[in-house]
Structure 1
Amino acid sequence: MTAMDRQHRIIVVGGGAGGLELVTRLGDRLGKRSRAKVILVDRNPTHFWKPLLHEVAAGSMDANTHQLEYAAQARWHHFEFQHGALTAVDRLRKCITVAGCFDDEGQELQPVRELEYDTLVLSIGCVTHFFGVPGAEQHSLALDTVEQAEKFRRRLISTCVRAQSGRGRTGAHGRSRVDIAIVGAGATGVELAAELRNTAHVLNAYGIHKLDPRQDIHIHVIEAGPRILPALSERISHKAHKLLSNLHVNVLTSERVTTVSPSEILTASGKRIEVDLTVWAAGITAPAVVRNFGLPVNRAGQVIVGPTLQVEGDSSIFALGDCASYTCVERQTVVPPRAQAAHQQATFLFTALNARLKGRAPPAFRYKDRGSLVSLGDFSAVGSLKGGLVGGSMFIEGLLARLMYTSLYRMHVMTLHGLRRMALDTAAHWLRSRTSPRIKLH
């Protein structure tokens, strides 16, 4: 078939928050009407909203009930799903290479494939950056995927059980103790620390361990900068620090980790922190494969894009979300790697790609900071709202902040399924929570 005979092919690589929202809307508008062939490529078969991974790690959310099958979403919204990891981009031939897929026994399910594109959108997110710290990658866990979060949850329960049976470490007065270190005090680190304190109490209530949830289970948050939540305002940082202290979380600032081993962490100031479990949440970088595509990237490996989110030097390739680096012209600031940025970019690209198919030049993307919210589990939430009815910036905390934080995920679900299904989904999860343990125990 010649280019004039077939449909315009739009390939979106990465089914994260922004990528899945984009293909869903494109499928409903273009795929349903056969105006374009919309294809989603992802290395995983299911979607999970990444900002909630800390709740999976702490056991307060069952990932199985919140995951979405890409194949089902594709069927409902008129796009095609290709399972496999992106391994190469041939810009001259305008095609990508997708790796083969294998089952749990190593049997090949799908072979290596080449897919042609007319428009390519990269939305492959970022992964944890270990900054070359000795032992960090080998002896700590990241929270990039559901599998990693589940692995940490299982290790947490096992560590508590061993400590209860006297097979773990002992502290003062010969009491068994568990030490959990979280390296990095961004939103993920702070939210995980609060959730873990709640988990310690719930595991004790269910009899999984008889340790004192505050005195025997120690949670350490280690931040290289002078304050926690460095990307947010000082007021939010100060309030969150105070709330963590009230939860008996040991917050260490201006402490740069130099070595990680299975049983301890060393810092540049000479501190030695004994640990049973370590979570690394200190930074992000684009997947290493991105550097092999011949695209312009920054120091973190993120693809550099212009005002239309098109890759510099190639108008047929766009990038959005955490894997993209865009500097706002008006403010000369880089759009932060947040879910709200991915959502805004997906909304923008839906309009831009529709214009592109009609032969019109895409408009310029403008990021609007709507504020930031940080959840401290059942204990509290803190953050700020910007723009809209607020006008400037308004600090919020407590129940209102908690409700606003929860609504962010519900808005994502509504974008994928519509208002009616979002309401039904919310009701179903509420009913399930009435008959399930507060913490996933298996």
Structure 2
Amino acid sequence: MTQRKTQIVVVGGGAGGLELVRKLGARYGRKRHDIILIDRNLTHIWKPLLHEVAAGSLDANLDEVGYGGHAVRWGYRFFNGSIESIDRVARTITTAPLIDERGDEIIGRHSIRYDYLVLAIGGISNDFGVPGVREHAMFLEDRPQADRFRQKLLNACLRTNHAHQTGDAHARVRVSIVGGGATGVELAAELYNAAKALRHYGLEVFDETKLEVSLIEAGPRILPALDEALAATAKLELERLGVRVLDNTQVTALEDRRVRIGDGTSIDADLIVWAAGVKGAEEIKTMSDLELTRGNQIVVRPTLQSKADDRIYALGDCASCLLPGRERPIPPRAQSAHQMASLVFTNLVLAQEGKPLRDFVYQDHGSLVSLSRFSTVGSLMGNLIGGRMFVQGWIARTVYTSLYRMHLIAIHGWWRGTGLILIGHVNQIVRPKLKLH
């Protein structure tokens, strides 16, 4: 009689989910285990790179990972779909029908059993109930959104270039970015990097002086995760580029090409990007009876098991993990997802061996923010040395670049990851500096 395989289902192919299935596939293979990754997209790109994709500084086609090929290499299966519901009694999940751009059904509603389920479905931008956000703002949550922004940005630059050629000396591309965290700050700087290069790609009279970027932050300063002095340095660098930094500024509503703020005035904008926080996706509320926070995040124990079910784990932005002795849950960062993926892998191995599970220990390795090629600032080590070491300039830039290299090794292994790093260096030399299509 054929023994039933242990089925581990991972929903979400972000940094944490993809690293987890690689480790599971490498350890177990397909002989006695069936490792399944479910994602609504066909490819993965590291989320911290999306601001470069949006500005055109990075060609995602060169850096994205196809789930299908990755699955064959590492011994797991990939299923293209999105989760719709969880039946904890039957230990099955149901995926929603997969629909093409014409509305035709590609794959119908599907039921997949699990012995262990890992939810790594990420989060979405938190609109905080501000009117007009979903209708008038763009987001940078995945590659399609970044591609959409890049195309709209290019169209706006082309219009402005043509306007100047036909005599309108006042034409500008106006971009408002709501949210002064890492995403907003990095996008603002990257836009100026792209604008400086556009005149070499057919826009003869366009440069950074034709760009007006407003960075709007509700809090007292941008980059609240960084030391105040480093945040002030970043603000100064942005203002030198030409960014209008508005802190202590509450956005009250978004309208078509307009951002309304708390003092009753408004900011005109051709493009509006919302980067003001993270929460769990709305569909989590109807997916199951798992305990959720007010922000739709799945409440997990220190073992990263959901409070409601020992066989369901959650990691990354969709998980809320409040460790003993801490006042706040683990922050939604790439390093958090990486560390959580490592622990979930360990605990899945221990659970199958009948051994006690381990608790999550968060190691804060600091925060780094890249201002494109202009500067990088941040803090390193965090609680590893009992304090923080503040860095900026080429040292910070080198460490920032190494984070992506570590991600490549985590999802590809040492040999292939190192090879892709070398290929990346070659591409920086031989490929165009901007992606305009």
Question: Shift of the alpha carbon at 1:160?
Answer: 1.0
- Alignment-derived partner of residue 192 in structure 1: 187
Task: Report if the CA contact (8 A) 2:11-2:37 is conserved.
Answer: yes
The CA distance in 1 between the partners of 2:110 and 2:50, in whole Å, is 31
Alignment partners' CA distance in 2, 1:313 and 1:109: 34
8 Å CA contact retained: 1:163, 1:169: no
Counterparts of 1:366-385 in structure 2, within 5 Å, are 366-385=361-380
User: Percent same amino acid among aligned pairs?
Assistant: 45
Report the AA paired with residue 136 of structure 2: H
Q: Which residue of 2 aligns with 1:330?
A: 325
Q: Which residue of 2 aligns with 1:10?
A: 8
For the 8 Å contact 1:161–1:209, the answer to whether it is kept is no
Aligned to 2:271: 277
Contact 2:136 2:254 in 1 (8 A): yes
Measured in 2, the distance between the counterparts of 1:307 and 1:145 equals: 28
Change (3 A) 1:380 1:186: same
Structure 1 stretch displaced more, 268-277 or 13-22: 268-277
Distance 1:92 1:280 in 2: 39
- Asked if 1:343 is matched to 2:338, the reply is yes
* CA-CA distance at 1:339 after TM superposition: 0.4
**What is the one-letter code of the residue matched to 1:129?**
N
In structure 2, the residue corresponding to 1:314 is in which secondary structure? coil
The answer on 1:393 being equivalent to 2:409 is no
Comparing 415-424 and 55-64, the one that deviates more = 415-424
d(CA) in 1 for partners of 2:79 and 2:259? 42
| CA-to-aligned-CA distance 1:136-167 (integer Å, 9 cap, x gap) | 21111000110110111111111011112229
* Equivalent of 1:91 in 88, 92, 104: 88
Could you report, residue by residue, the CA deviation over 1:364-395 in whole angstroms, capped at 9, with x for unpaired residues? 11111010110110111000111587553100
In angstroms, what is the RMSD of aligned CA positions? 2.0
Match of 1:22 among 3, 20, 30: 20
Residue 407 of structure 2, aligned match among 395, 405, 412: 412
CA shift, 1:332, in A, is 3.1
Who is 1:363 aligned against?
358
The AA in structure 1 aligned to 2:219 is: G
- SS state of the match for residue 369, structure 2? strand
CA–CA distance in structure 1, aligned partners of residues 225 and 165 of structure 2: 37
Native 8 Å contact 1:170 1:176 kept in 2? no
Separation in structure 2 between the aligned mates of residue 202 and residue 382 of structure 1, nearest angstrom = 23
Alignment check: 8 A CA contact 2:258 2:266 kept: yes
The verdict on how the C-alpha distance between 1:391 and 1:226 changes in structure 2, with shifts beyond 3 A counting, is closer
Deviations along 1:252-271, whole A, 9 cap, x unmatched?
A: 01111112122221101123
Among 238, 246, 251, the residue aligned to 1:244 = 238
Alignment of 1:175-324 (within 5 A): 175-214=170-209, 216-292=210-286, 293-324=288-319
Q: CA deviation at 1:231?
A: 2.6
Cα distance change, pair 228–170 in 1 and its aligned pair in 2 (3 A): farther
C-alpha contact (below 8 Å) 1:15/1:42 kept by paired residues: yes
- In structure 1, how many angstroms separate the alpha carbons of the residues matched to 2:385 and 2:395? 14
Distance 1:35 1:99 in 2: 28
Q: For 1:48-96, what per-residue CA distance to the aligned partner results, in whole angstroms no more than 9, with x for missing partners?
A: 1111100000100001111111111111111111110100001111100
Aligned partner of 1:420: which letter? W
Whichever residue aligns with residue 22 of structure 2, its letter is T
Moved more, 156-165 or 99-108: 99-108
CA distance in 2 between partners of 1:26 and 1:99 (Å): 25
Residue-pair matches, total: 436
Partners of 1:196 and 1:416 lie apart in 2 by 29
Q: CA deviation at 1:7?
A: 1.8
